[in-house]
Structure 1
Amino acid sequence: MSVRLSDYDYELPQELIAQRPLRRREDSRMMMLHRAERAIEHRQFRELKTFLRPGDLLVLNDTRVLPARRFSDDGAVEFLFLERLGPKRWKCLVKPGRKMRVGATAKIDNVTLWVEKITSDGERVVALEKDVDLYAGGSMPLPPYITRPSDEKDAARYQTVFGHAAGAIAAPTAGLHFTPRILSEIPHTFVTLHVGPGTFLPVRSDNIAAHRMQAERFSISPEASNKINEARRIIAVG
């Protein structure tokens, strides 16, 4: 297996990237890779059950996406708030970074914030003039290949139907296609992995092995652990 990033380059036409989900989650297309036959088959997600075997267990991520995206009052700076560090202090990503160097200020909802520190990963530690909940009034942090502005519909559709543990700044996208009916028909369990800022950061080295992944918070309940240990084939839903 190659560790060169350039070996994984491919062309993806912009017009093939859907900017809106289908009306029904289960109508999404599903690509099946038959490894033994080295063949690809295109099906619909609602057919997932037909490909499972006795003893299979699907493991899904029940994290819930935070409304972490905010803009400065003048619209010049986009913020992605990663976590609240304490009273009046937050960690965030900003775009464009040149506008928010150490000491730079901005306003959100007429509350002034300023950059105290820039980490080695480019994250900003900002201080606020008063303690406010920056997730209140925020929007969904859609991935960069979705080029339209986020709206009220995304508050529901950019969440899985089973997500309940708030803490992610991006959705576990493979889980977006599940519906309550599909879940009722397949054996499954849940773990919690809060998707962090590493999902938005580029791989800067052509040697994949040299890329440093950021840590992410997770939890596995005793019940989920027991189910996983007892399963024959474990299928992770990313």
Structure 2
Amino acid sequence: MTSPADFDFELPLEQIAQQPAPQRRGARLLHLPRGGPIEHRGVVDLPELLGARGHAPPLVVVNDSKVVPARVHARRETGKRFELLIVEPAALGPGARLRAWIRGAKKLREGELLNVEGAELVLRFVGRAGPDDPDSRASELEIVAGELLDALESAGQLPLPPYISRPEGPSDRDLTRYQTVFARERGSVAAPTAGLHLDRELLAEIDHVAITLHVGPGTFLPIEAEDVRDHKVGAERFEITAEAAARIEAARAQGRPILAVGTTVTRTLESVAAGHGGAIVAGCGATELVITPGHEFRVVDRLLSNFHLPRSSLLMLVCSLAGRERVLSAYAEAVRAGYRFYSYGDCMLVER
């Protein structure tokens, strides 16, 4: 049995980044090569690192999902105000059902109407998640009137992670910096943070292709199960276009490495490959894949990733790709060297 404690580490609070780097490519990069010592570099060095061995450079795969301002306030029929975090924001209208995390309203009644502040959106409370639901925090709601995405865009707030703790809350700067420059498809409640380091000039220097995975809040939850194999993150929607699938398969056929920008890309590619005999095929679907030690990686050879929370499924994924002791040793070195951690922090480039 593998325990969550196997993915724990100590981090001084002052190393949790509260603001992004002045420039996207201004973050530090810790390089963990397949062989050889750790290198302390910068994101600006990424094109050089990708072509350093004289072989064909990797195909870089990014996630083009766009963060939706999915945190809103609503009022009950009694007038009491509470908070909703929409788990899977999508283009939904009257009669459709959605899921949300609710804070500040513990005793909602089945059928109770809820009015979203600042928008013409009325919801009906259906019920809370049952004991067998993979997302025990979720509640189900039905749209009575209004359009969900329109309401979120007009009245929603950016759902910054709770460890970004500022008295003033999200700022106008967050609207651009907590969003990748290639974000296109609306649907995430959290940014695919590894991609935040890439600007348009840097992207022009590397061969890349985009896929989509809409990030849900469950991805970032700590592992609470005694055995990490029992951890659940909930289903997350993905799409791989025919063009993206063809480019990925062509790169693999040429012997080029596949570099995933972030754990969301890794989970999507590995999930699709597991269901199609190792191949990447076009299509839409949902994945609940949690990558644990012993996972047989079929597609991803390299990973650009931020530094993740202790005891999280994201850290466990990185350890599964590059080795637990090796990764935790690199994390310890990053702490000693003063790297900035989590969503607005620095990053690492690891090789399988």
- Shorter-chain TM-score tier: 0.7 to 0.9
Counterpart contact for 1:77–1:99, Cα < 8 Å: no
**How many residues matched?**
236
Structure 2 Cα separation of the partners of residues 118 and 141 of structure 1: 21
Alignment of 1:102-141 (within 5 A): 102=110, 107-109=115-117, 113-119=123-129, 120=133, 121=135, 122-127=137-142, 130-133=145-148, 134-135=151-152, 136-141=154-159
For 1:164, the equivalent position in structure 2 comes to 184
Q: Which amino acid aligns with 1:117?
A: G
Distance 1:102-1:145 versus aligned 2 partners, 3 A rule: farther
SS of 2:100 mapped into structure 1: strand
Distance 1:235-1:100 versus aligned 2 partners, 3 A rule: farther
Distance 1:202-1:100 versus aligned 2 partners, 3 A rule: farther
SS of 1:185 mapped into structure 2: coil
Structure 2 Cα separation of the partners of residues 223 and 162 of structure 1: 16
Select the structure that is richer in strand. 1
For 2:265, the equivalent position in structure 1 comes to none
For 1:146, the equivalent position in structure 2 comes to 164
Structure 1 Cα separation of the partners of residues 230 and 115 of structure 2: 38
Structure 2 Cα separation of the partners of residues 97 and 36 of structure 1: 53
For 1:194, the equivalent position in structure 2 comes to 214
- Structure 1 segments unaligned to the other structure (5+ residues): none
Identity of aligned residues (%): 39
For 1:93, the equivalent position in structure 2 comes to 101
Counterpart contact for 1:27–1:44, Cα < 8 Å: yes
Deviates more, 1:76-85 or 1:58-67: 76-85
Deviates more, 1:217-226 or 1:71-80: 71-80
Select the structure that is richer in helix. 2
Alignment RMSD, CA only?
2.4
SS of 1:217 mapped into structure 2: strand
Structure 1 Cα separation of the partners of residues 29 and 244 of structure 2: 26
Counterpart contact for 1:107–1:113, Cα < 8 Å: yes
Deviates more, 1:130-139 or 1:50-59: 130-139
Counterpart contact for 1:139–1:155, Cα < 8 Å: no
SS of 1:219 mapped into structure 2: strand
SS of 2:106 mapped into structure 1: helix
Distance 1:33-1:108 versus aligned 2 partners, 3 A rule: same
Structure 2 Cα separation of the partners of residues 30 and 156 of structure 1: 22
Instruction: Tell me the alpha carbon deviations over residues 168-213 of structure 1, each in whole angstroms, 9 at most, x when there is no partner.
Output: 1111100001011000001111111111232244422021111133
Deviates more, 1:56-65 or 1:191-200: 191-200
For 1:81, the equivalent position in structure 2 comes to 86
For 1:60, the equivalent position in structure 2 comes to 62
For 2:248, the equivalent position in structure 1 comes to 228
Deviates more, 1:103-112 or 1:28-37: 103-112
Structure 1 Cα separation of the partners of residues 98 and 20 of structure 2: 32
For 1:12, the equivalent position in structure 2 comes to 11
Structure 2 Cα separation of the partners of residues 153 and 102 of structure 1: 39
Structure 1 residue 152 displacement after superposition = 2.0
Instruction: Tell me the alpha carbon deviations over residues 33-67 of structure 1, each in whole angstroms, 9 at most, x when there is no partner.
Output: 13322x32221101101111324110001111111
- Structure 2 segments unaligned to the other structure (5+ residues): 263-352
Structure 2 Cα separation of the partners of residues 209 and 235 of structure 1: 25
SS of 2:204 mapped into structure 1: helix
Instruction: Tell me the alpha carbon deviations over residues 131-154 of structure 1, each in whole angstroms, 9 at most, x when there is no partner.
Output: 254312211111121112112221
Q: Which amino acid aligns with 1:63?
A: S
Q: Which amino acid aligns with 1:188?
A: H
Deviates more, 1:84-93 or 1:131-140: 84-93
For 2:31, the equivalent position in structure 1 comes to 32
Q: What is the TM-score of this pair, normalised by structure 2?
A: 0.61
